[in-house]
């Protein structure tokens, strides 16, 4: 570590290098349940050259290198679990270009997503990815996690909007990948490989992003249901009817309680809610809203339409507060982001009820039902319940894989789900990905102990609630 510190000081000057334990502690954790670990040093990067110098120094000292953006990750991705140097990128926060003619933006990795939204929308354009952390997460983290939010149902996730990247490799090489044009098929699609690689292959120093025209009108509807199963059926019915809202968000009974505690008035008869939003031309919005009303009418207690932008903003603010609001409901919380095929949403909701009954661990669910991506939250107060929580989590993941779903829709594997990867992916696929990692990072210095499992799954299939579920590539 002494070698690392002197190499960093020499390369970057002391003003960009933090080494005091107190200062390093601020870079120890994220928003996951991963135990925070203070790094040995932090580099406050302000340019790609700074990152290249820091990476060369860390490689020479053979210590781990962990990129960090907003620190809002939910899978332990930026936690320096093996110590080493954190590369803090929030200082690289310039929106370098917004081109209306080409419909692209070029950004540094520390740009806060909400700031990019405001800047492009002021120019009549639109960057659709909208994780609910948009006021605290930054583009470097969004790209590393392939982040997505409610609007992914219609518009897709971050990967769909990344045209090209500038990155630093672990040996300090600076590379450009991808293109600025909308089309282009030269060589392997390295850009897509890097998006979602959770900071394990390269460090992003700039990104060229695709923009689209801003929709002219948006209509937001609230549909209230007597139970969560009815809301799940309404989601399936909307998809089957070919309706294409930009988002369908589901809130179950426990989540509605959290919202009510925060002072939001919700009809007491409601045990589940869908927030549904459509966009396009005003006449399209009216037609789509009418169709949604017809589809939901069979099961809904009530369907309300937000009357103006202010009402819509209040609604989304309540939705964005769900993560902290549900965290306040118990001493401990784990928030999962599983995805199931959309016609299995009612089955997943049923399964969470069964797991809750049988393990005694409280489970509440909300999330992006349009994508089948639901945040199942496990809440408990008593530390002694931990074995039950682990059992509940295992059962949840096995059920999801058994439904041909996937363990994470947007939060990434990080450390939180590394040990479960083999439930979903066959050993050969994991081995292939490890070989790819080895090509980029032969010494395993870049964000180590992320994604790949530390323990092996022994069985090829297991029994969950009386059903045989095959592992290793069930998807
Ligand atoms: C309240 C709340 C709501 C959330 N809602 C959503 C949601 O709706 N959808 C969603 O997808 N996520 C959501 N998240 C999770 C989180 O905000 C996203 O994963 C986000 O993309 C992380 O961005 P960040 O800037 O905070 O990254 P960080 O947490 O700093 O890092 C995340 C990962 O990116 C890597 N990384 C960071 N910068 C770089 C870089 N320059 N180059 C390479 N790798 C890098 C890190 O090493 C780490 O692996 C939510 C989180 C919170 C707290």
Residue 131 has pLDDT above 70, yes or no: yes
Write the CB contacts of 390 (distance below 8 Å, at least 6 apart in sequence).
none
Q: Pick the residue whose CA is nearest to atom 49 on ligand 1.
A: 77
pLDDT in tens, 417-468: 999 999 999 999 999 999 999 999 999 999 999 999 876 544 445 444 444 4
Domain boundaries of the chain, sorted by first residue:
2-88, 95-213, 217-319, 330-470
Continuous segment of H or E residues that includes residue 141: helix 139-145
Q: Does domain 330-470 have CATH number 3.30.200.20?
A: no
What would the mean pLDDT of 222-249 be, rounded to a whole number? 92
Mutation choice for ligand 1 from 115, 144, 165, 206, CB with most ligand atoms inside 8 A: 144
CA 167 to ligand 1: nearest atom: 42
| Structure confidence at residue 312 as a pLDDT band (50, 70, 90) | confident
Residue 206 CA to residue 225 CA, distance in Å, equals 45
Write the CB contacts of 213 (distance below 8 Å, at least 6 apart in sequence).
103, 124, 125, 126
Q: Specify the range with the lowest mean pLDDT, choosing from 163-167, 344-348, 406-410.
A: 344-348
For the chain, what percent of residues have pLDDT higher than 70? 96
The pLDDT of residue 455 is 61
Residue 276 CA to residue 194 CA, distance in Å, equals 32
Identify whether the C-beta of residue 445 lies closer than 8 Å to the C-beta of residue 454. Answer: no
Q: From 3.30.540.10, 3.30.43.10, 1.20.1630.10, 3.40.50.2300, which CATH number describes the 2-88 domain?
A: 3.30.43.10
What would the mean pLDDT of 226-230 be, rounded to a whole number? 93
> How far away, in angstroms, is 198 Cα from ligand 1 center?
9
> How far away, in angstroms, is 197 Cα from ligand 1 center?
12
> How far away, in angstroms, is 83 Cα from ligand 1 center?
20
The pLDDT of residue 464 is 44
Q: Which of 255, 416, 224, 234 lies closest to 321 in space, CA to CA?
A: 255
CA 149 to ligand 1: nearest atom: 8
> How far away, in angstroms, is 99 Cα from ligand 1 center?
26
Q: Where are the alpha helices (DSSP H) in 152-273?
A: 152-155, 190-194, 228-240, 253-261
Q: Sign (positive/negative) of CA torsion 79, 82, 83, 87?
A: negative
Name the burial class of residue 264, with classes exposed (0-12), middle (13-18) and buried (19+) by CB atoms within 10 angstroms of its CB.
middle
Continuous segment of H or E residues that includes residue 168: strand 162-168
Q: Residues with Cβ within 6 A of ligand 1?
A: 30-31, 66-74, 77-78, 89, 109, 131-133, 137-138, 140-142, 144-145, 147-149, 198-199, 203-204, 323, 410-411, 447
The pLDDT of residue 328 is 86
pLDDT in tens, 150-173: 999 999 999 999 999 999 999 999
Q: Which of 300, 298, 299, 276 lies closest to 288 in space, CA to CA?
A: 276
> How far away, in angstroms, is 345 Cα from ligand 1 center?
25
Residue 216 has pLDDT above 80, yes or no: yes
The pLDDT of residue 303 is 93
> How far away, in angstroms, is 420 Cα from ligand 1 center?
20
Q: How many CB atoms lie within 10 A of CB 225?
A: 26
Q: Pick the residue whose CA is nearest to atom 16 on ligand 1.
A: 73
Mutation choice for ligand 1 from 127, 136, 137, CB with most ligand atoms inside 8 A: 137
Q: Pick the residue whose CA is nearest to atom 14 on ligand 1.
A: 133
Residue 45 CA to residue 279 CA, distance in Å, equals 39
Instruction: Could you please state the CATH topology (level 3) that the domain comprising 217-319 is classified under.
Output: Alpha-Beta Plaits (3.30.70)
Identify whether the C-beta of residue 254 lies closer than 8 Å to the C-beta of residue 322. Answer: no
The β-bridge relationship of strands 95-99 and 85-88 is: unpaired
What would the mean pLDDT of 132-144 be, rounded to a whole number? 97
| Structure confidence at residue 79 as a pLDDT band (50, 70, 90) | very high
Q: What is the CATH number of domain 95-213?
A: 3.30.465.10
> How far away, in angstroms, is 148 Cα from ligand 1 center?
10
3-state helix/strand/coil string of 400-435:
HHHCCCECECCCCCCCCCHHHHHHHCCHHHHHHHHH
The pLDDT of residue 85 is 97
> How far away, in angstroms, is 362 Cα from ligand 1 center?
26
> How far away, in angstroms, is 167 Cα from ligand 1 center?
17
> How far away, in angstroms, is 415 Cα from ligand 1 center?
14
Mutation choice for ligand 1 from 72, 152, 416, CB with most ligand atoms inside 8 A: 72
> How far away, in angstroms, is 216 Cα from ligand 1 center?
29
Residue 64 has pLDDT above 90, yes or no: yes
Residue 329 has pLDDT above 80, yes or no: yes
> How far away, in angstroms, is 73 Cα from ligand 1 center?
4
Q: Sign (positive/negative) of CA torsion 52, 57, 62, 66?
A: negative
Residue 30 CA to residue 86 CA, distance in Å, equals 13
Q: Specify the range with the lowest mean pLDDT, choosing from 4-13, 51-60, 63-72.
A: 4-13
Q: Pick the residue whose CA is nearest to atom 50 on ligand 1.
A: 133
Identify whether the C-beta of residue 418 lies closer than 8 Å to the C-beta of residue 452. Answer: yes
CA 143 to ligand 1: nearest atom: 21
Residue, of 183 and 471, whose pLDDT is higher:
183
The pLDDT of residue 260 is 85
Q: Pick the residue whose CA is nearest to atom 52 on ligand 1.
A: 133
What would the mean pLDDT of 132-152 be, rounded to a whole number? 96
The pLDDT of residue 463 is 47
Mutation choice for ligand 1 from 46, 81, 127, 133, CB with most ligand atoms inside 8 A: 133
Residue 451 CA to residue 82 CA, distance in Å, equals 14
The pLDDT of residue 288 is 93
Identify whether the C-beta of residue 37 lies closer than 8 Å to the C-beta of residue 76. Answer: no
Continuous segment of H or E residues that includes residue 65: strand 65-68
> How far away, in angstroms, is 258 Cα from ligand 1 center?
24
95-213 with 330-470: one CATH topology? Answer: no
What would the mean pLDDT of 254-261 be, rounded to a whole number? 87
CA 51 to ligand 1: nearest atom: 41
């Amino acid at each position: 570590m002494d070698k690392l510190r002197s190499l960093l000081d020499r390369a970057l000057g002391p003003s960009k290098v933090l080494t005091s334990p107190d200062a390093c502690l601020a870079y120890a954790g994220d928003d996951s349940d991963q135990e925070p670990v203070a790094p040995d040093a932090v580099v406050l990067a302000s340019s790609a050259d700074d990152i290249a110098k820091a990476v060369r120094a860390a490689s020479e000292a053979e210590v781990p290198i962990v990129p960090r953006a907003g620190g809002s990750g939910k899978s332990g991705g930026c936690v320096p679990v093996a110590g080493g140097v954190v590369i803090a990128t929030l200082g690289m926060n310039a929106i370098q270009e917004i081109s209306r003619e080409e419909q692209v933006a070029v950004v540094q990795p520390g740009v806060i997503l909400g700031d990019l939204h405001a800047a492009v929308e002021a120019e009549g354009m639109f960057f659709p990815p909208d994780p609910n952390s948009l006021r605290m997460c930054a583009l470097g983290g969004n790209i590393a996690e392939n982040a997505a939010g409610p609007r992914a149902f219609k518009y897709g996730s971050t990967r769909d909007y990344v045209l090209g990247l500038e990155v630093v490799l672990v040996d300090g090489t600076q590379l450009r990948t991808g293109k600025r044009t909308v089309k282009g098929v030269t060589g392997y699609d390295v850009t897509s490989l890097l998006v979602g690689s959770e900071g394990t292959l390269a460090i992003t120093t700039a990104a060229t992003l695709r923009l689209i025209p801003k929709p002219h009108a948006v209509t937001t509807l609230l549909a209230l249901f007597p139970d969560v199963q009815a809301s799940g059926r309404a989601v399936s019915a909307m998809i089957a009817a070919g309706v294409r809202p930009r988002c369908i968000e589901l809130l179950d009974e426990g989540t509605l309680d959290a919202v009510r505690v925060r002072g939001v008035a919700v009809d007491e008869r409601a045990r589940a809610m869908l927030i549904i939003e459509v966009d396009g031309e005003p006449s399209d919005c009216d037609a789509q809203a009418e169709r949604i009303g017809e589809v939901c009418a069979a099961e809904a207690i009530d369907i309300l339409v937000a009357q103006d932008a202010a009402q819509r903003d209040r609604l989304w603010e309540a939705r964005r507060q769900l993560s902290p609001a549900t965290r306040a409901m118990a001493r401990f919380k784990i928030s999962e982001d599983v995805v199931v095929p959309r016609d299995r949403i009612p089955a997943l909701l049923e399964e969470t009820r069964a797991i809750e009954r049988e393990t005694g661990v409280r489970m509440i669910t909300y999330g992006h039902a349009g994508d089948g991506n639901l945040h199942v939250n496990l809440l408990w107060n008593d530390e002694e319940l931990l074995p039950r929580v682990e059992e509940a989590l295992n059962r949840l993941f096995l059920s999801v894989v058994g439904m041909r779903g996937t363990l994470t829709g947007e939060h990434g594997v990080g450390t939180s789900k590394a040990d479960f990867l083999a439930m979903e992916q066959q050993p050969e696929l994991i081995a292939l990905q490890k070989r790819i990692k080895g090509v980029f990072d032969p010494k395993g210095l870049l964000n180590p102990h992320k994604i790949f499992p530390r323990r092996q799954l022994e069985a090829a299939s297991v029994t969950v609630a009386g059903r045989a579920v095959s592992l290793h590539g069930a998807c």
